[in-house]
Amino acid sequence: MKKCRLILLLVAAAVALPGYGEEMPHTDRTRGLIRELLTKLDSTDIYAARKEKSIEELKVRLNECPQDEKFSLCNAIAGKYSNFIVDSALVYIAMEEQFAREMGSNSLVIDSRLRRSNTLSMGGFYVEAGETLESIPRNELDGKSLVQYYNARALFYHELYSATNEPADFREKYRSKYNVYRDSLLAVADTTDHLYLRNMEKKADRAGDFDEARRYNAIRFSRISDTRSGAYAACLYDRFMTAFYYEGKLTGEAVDDLLESAIIEVEICNRNIASLLRVEALLININEVKAAKKVSDYYYSSLRLFGSRKRLLEGGEQAINIMDKNQQLLQARNKELLVALALISLMVVAMVFLLVVTISSRGKIARLNEDLQRSGKISKNYVGVVFQLYSSYIKRLDVFRTKIHSSLRKGNIDQALELTMPSGDISAEERKELFYNFDTAFVDIFPDFIETVNGCLKPEERIVPKKTEILSTELRILALIKLGIEDSTQIAEMLHCSVKTVYNLRSVLKSRLAVSEDEFQRIISEL
């Protein structure tokens, strides 16, 4: 009885679901935000359709509006496409520039070229972005256009030095130029402008002045009225980056900022989403590989639609990493399942044995019922087998008890004694059913077992079970050894034979091997 209980406890432990991996800093909102993000990913087609509808409405207006309104409508359409589809954004920026030329406005032409440079930089088209910047006449820049020019230059070099495929010495040169143009922007920009505030925040981050960075971030937040906008998501992401990337202190609040930023950007169908790349990494770190793969699949497909070469490279590397992690997880789960099934088969044997030896005891049957309830996570097929056997034994017990009770009430003592007389035929039949169920379960789990064992024996010594049996006695002994039961006394007890018989069969089996005993044990253990 104690041995059977131990087996049940081992099986329960083997089939228990694995918990989370490394604990991630979190707040009371964190798990809810993760669930919300994963739910939002199921509705991305709706968000994309909504964005496409708003763009189509602008296109209809563009075809119908007067000539002097076409520039602003092209600008609006290009803005909608800017974080949605790079190629489409470039098409409407080109149309916008053409309308600016027709209007005879050099300043609007320059604005269009600056927008084109920014779009090309974000898309990873650095040669084209650089050529566009070089085509802009510096002597015609003043005021706002000069600020936008310095911003375009800074963005251009930022994208270059942050590209993972650039050599280290090139990246350092690009970083230096980025700093120069960023400082130039700060020197001429309005101190209330969002470009000034964001660049001051980043400058403070890089200088290690995190309180100052958060102060600028708070000012940016205070000037955003729409809490579901791209600007609000960018502020959340920048606040996360201050804590995580620059300060190196990942807090629960920072994780919430990242998740909320990602949720907003999924809602507005921003396909140039830097936040999701970070979300993937966090989910992998806490062993949420399935959730990370869902995020990765959406992120990578979005980048393909967006058309950014740089983002595709970054996302592709992480997607490969997640696929590797997912494969490792599947392999680990398969190993866990193999162990669980082996233990389940052992449990089935133990329970059948327990039913046979405790058929006359209702107390033992009740305890076995509790054991069956505790092992509720086992394979439904084997549960069905055990349940059927259990039901059959109860029915037999009830019939047996009814006959005994009827005989005693009638005073027929001889008939009662005859009913309770031990029967060798019944025991043999029960053993036959026990072995059949064990053999069936074991061969189902290890279908190559007999073939593997015979492969280790001399050709003339191979074991061929009889037509009326699945496993022979020798194979049944090896099956129990495979399941970790190596003690001959215990094997003899479970197989209802003498210890000497087990010893003799194991000794004879060794003499029939075509490989060394150590090699045989290794092959069986790795099966």
Q: For 60-69, how does the pLDDT look when each residue is reduced to its tens digit (9 = 90+)?
A: 999 999 988 9
Distance CA 190, CA 170 (A): 32
Position of tokens 């609007």? 108
Asked if the model's pLDDT at residue 380 lies above 60, the reply is no
- pLDDT, residue 337, reads 63
Q: Buried b vs exposed e over 425-457: b needs ≥16 C-beta within 10 Å?
A: eeeeebeeebbebbbbbbbebbeebbebbbebb
Most confident listed range (171-175, 212-216, 397-401): 212-216
Q: Which fold has domain 446-527?
A: Arc Repressor Mutant, subunit A (1.10.10)
List where CATH 1.10.10 sits in the chain: 446-527
Name the nearest CA neighbour of 270 among 50, 84, 80: 84
Give the Cβ contact number of residue 515 at 10 Å: 14
pLDDT higher at 404 or 355: 404
Q: Buried b vs exposed e over 34-67: b needs ≥16 C-beta within 10 Å?
A: bebbbebbeebeebeeebeeebeebeeebeeeee
29 Cβ neighbours under 8 A, 6+ residues apart: 256
Instruction: Calculate mean pLDDT across residues 389-417.
Output: 71
Under the banding of pLDDT at 50, 70 and 90, the label for residue 527 is confident
Distance, C-alpha 226 to centroid of its chain: 33
Query: Which DSSP letter does residue 246 get?
Result: I
Question: pLDDT tens, 137-149?
Answer: 988 898 889 999 9
Q: How far is CA 36 from CA 127, 162, 227, 288, in A?
A: 40, 30, 16, 15
Under the banding of pLDDT at 50, 70 and 90, the label for residue 128 is very high
Cα angle vertex 51, ends 46, 52, to 5°? 95
Give the Cβ contact number of residue 520 at 10 Å: 19
Q: Which fold has domain 30-268?
A: 1.25.40
Q: How far is CA 232 from CA 153, 189, 263, in A?
A: 24, 21, 11
Asked if the model's pLDDT at residue 94 lies above 70, the reply is yes
Distance CA 124, CA 247 (A): 28
Instruction: Calculate mean pLDDT across residues 377-391.
Output: 50
- pLDDT, residue 384, reads 47
Tokens of 486: 């190596």
Question: pLDDT tens, 455-507?
Answer: 888 888 888 888 778 888 888 888 888 888 888 888 888 888 888 888 888 88
List where CATH 1.25.40.10 sits in the chain: 30-268
- pLDDT, residue 427, reads 61
pLDDT higher at 424 or 152: 152
